[in-house]
Amino acid sequence: MFTDSHCHLTFPELVADWPAIQIAMAQAQVNRALCICTTLEEFSTVHALALAHAHIWASAGVHPDNEGVTEPSVAELVRLGSLPKVIAIGETGLDYYRLGERTVADMEWQRERFRRHIQAARTVQKPLVIHTRSASDDTLALLREQGETGGAGCAGGVFHCFTEDMVVAKAALDLGFYISFSGILTFKSAQAIRDVAALVPMDRLLIETDSPYLAPVPYRGKTNNPSYVPYVAQTLAALKGCDVQTIAQISSANFDALFHPNDHEKPV
């Protein structure tokens, strides 16, 4: 019934508990998940997990905040993005949250990495999984620069774990992107994000855990996993004035419309 559109099942916090997590997912009626890649070094593990399980898919990408890792080329991202069960390019985007003594100008390496992901996504026609933190203006500007304006030939994608304001949400929607909400939506301090979620059109909503991080209430502070995504759906249902089954159905249909997972089944 539920689809977790963004989780990190190969991270150490979850690997050892994978058998138990599968049971918990089944009990919570979370029957699908997209396992997100954050480095080229981990791609083979992410991809192997997707190949081994009919209800898991993979992405290919390098997180904007990861330094000291193999830098992706467009050609390599295209190669990985063309493999079976790989349905997205990313997690990619921009993150200026930890600049330290650096300036925004010093982050050109991050912007160039983002450009390569966009170019690869357009080549393989797979959607982008966008991470943006303290960098929304540049994130939107680079998408426009690379032609991601929602028209023919665009890759499109999703702004995952959305924490920005309605201005950014409207800009992302205008570019043809979906908006995904995580367990942050359930936090007492997140009223501004709930206000955004209430206004995002139903046909552009996704739900996620971003596990092992950001566990929703009532598990806040604990290790997150995909079986908790119904708590995000429950909060969305309250905001939208509908039942949780409606959110499950619509967000899963939106996942299908964006990622086309059934076109990327494991070959027999």
Bridge partner list, 56: 33
Q: pTM for this one?
A: 0.96
Cis peptide before 212 (omega within 30 of 0): yes
- The predicted model gives 40-68 an average pLDDT of 98
Q: Say yes or no to pLDDT of 244 above 80.
A: yes
Q: pLDDT by residue (tens digit) across 160-203? A: 999 999 999 999 999 999 999 999 999 999 999 999 999 999 99
Tell me if 142 sits within 8 A of 97, measured CB to CB.
Answer: no
Q: Where are the domains of the chain?
A: 2-264
Tell me what percent of the residues of the chain surpass a pLDDT of 70: 98
What is the model's pLDDT at position 264?
A: 54
- CATH class of this structure's domain 2-264: alpha beta
DSSP SS3 for 242: coil
268 pLDDT exceeds 90? no
The pLDDT of residue 263: 85
In this structure, the number of other CB atoms found within 10 A of the CB of residue 125 comes to 13
End-to-end CA, the chain = 25
Average pLDDT over residues 233-258: 98
Mean of per-residue pLDDT scores for the chain? 96
How confident is the model over 136-142, as a mean pLDDT?
98
Q: Is the pLDDT of residue 149 over 70?
A: yes
| Secondary structure of residue 171 in the 3-state scheme | helix
